[in-house]
Structure 1
């Protein structure tokens, strides 16, 4: 049986803090090639929020996504336990390397909030959840390979 993010309890205040932080983070995106700003916010186990934005590079392959920016910032400062992530906007969340980096440091059942670009409009129109898609690392990266797999016996 698969455990989904819906089994987690992410309180409304934390959810709102994460969405706000992801929105703030995207303002610092360096996206002069795509003009597509993305922000991410990680909620650490200690309650702090780490923000990240996409940072593009002329070589394209050197581009780093908002989620990896947030993870690298957190880990490089000693934070390695996370309880939730918000990303804004949620379209183009297809990069496998991004998901794999999240998999390295986050529980498979950790909630991931994918926030649409028109979130505020949807909330103002009475859609309580603002169109946020709640998922999990496991749902984004099924049958993944993680650090625990390195400890399994090797077949010759």
Structure 2
């Protein structure tokens, strides 16, 4: 098993999921360092934060920028692979290179994809009027 997947899997214990009991952990990998995050729920649901955004926001708060990111890893213990939600995909388009590898894993399966494959025809800054 991929060691980065195993490191990310270890962060599942940090998820705060008293409502869904659906733990997700994510890692943002740069050339030099790894930044981990877990999903954090809130009773209002809308104020919850997914693992992907937790890891990305942590990495960015430490000075990482788009061009530094090589890969994201997303791990759950679900029976089937779990893909990022729409909000996370949109944030990934903004903060992660489109060609960056995204590795999805659960206990039984691993799939590699890219940000571009997760959200083709994405809305981004090029769609804004200058």
Shared fold, TM over 0.5? yes
Per the alignment, do residues 94 and 76 of structure 1 end up closer, same or farther by CA in structure 2, a change over 3 Å counting? closer
1:18–1:85 contact (8 Å) kept in structure 2: no
Shift in Å, 1:16:
2.5
Aligned to 2:11: 25
Q: What CA deviation, in whole Å up to 9, does each residue of 1:46-66 have, x standing for no partner?
A: 320000000000000011000
2:73–2:102 contact (8 Å) kept in structure 1: yes
Matches of 1:55 and 1:68, distance apart in 2: 10
Q: What are the within-5 Å matches in structure 2 for residues 1-156 of structure 1?
A: 16-44=2-30, 46-80=31-65, 81-89=68-76, 91-116=81-106, 118-119=107-108, 131-150=109-128
Higher share of residues assigned strand: 2
Shift in Å, 1:94:
4.6
Which of 1 and 2 has greater Rg? 1
Runs of at least 5 residues in structure 2 that lack an aligned partner in the other structure: none
Coordinate RMSD, CA, aligned: 1.8
Aligned pair count?
A: 125
Matches of 1:146 and 1:24, distance apart in 2: 33
TM-score, structure 2 as length reference:
0.87
Matches of 1:149 and 1:75, distance apart in 2: 23
Shift in Å, 1:146:
2.1
TM-score, structure 1 as length reference:
0.73
Runs of at least 5 residues in structure 1 that lack an aligned partner in the other structure: 1-14, 120-130
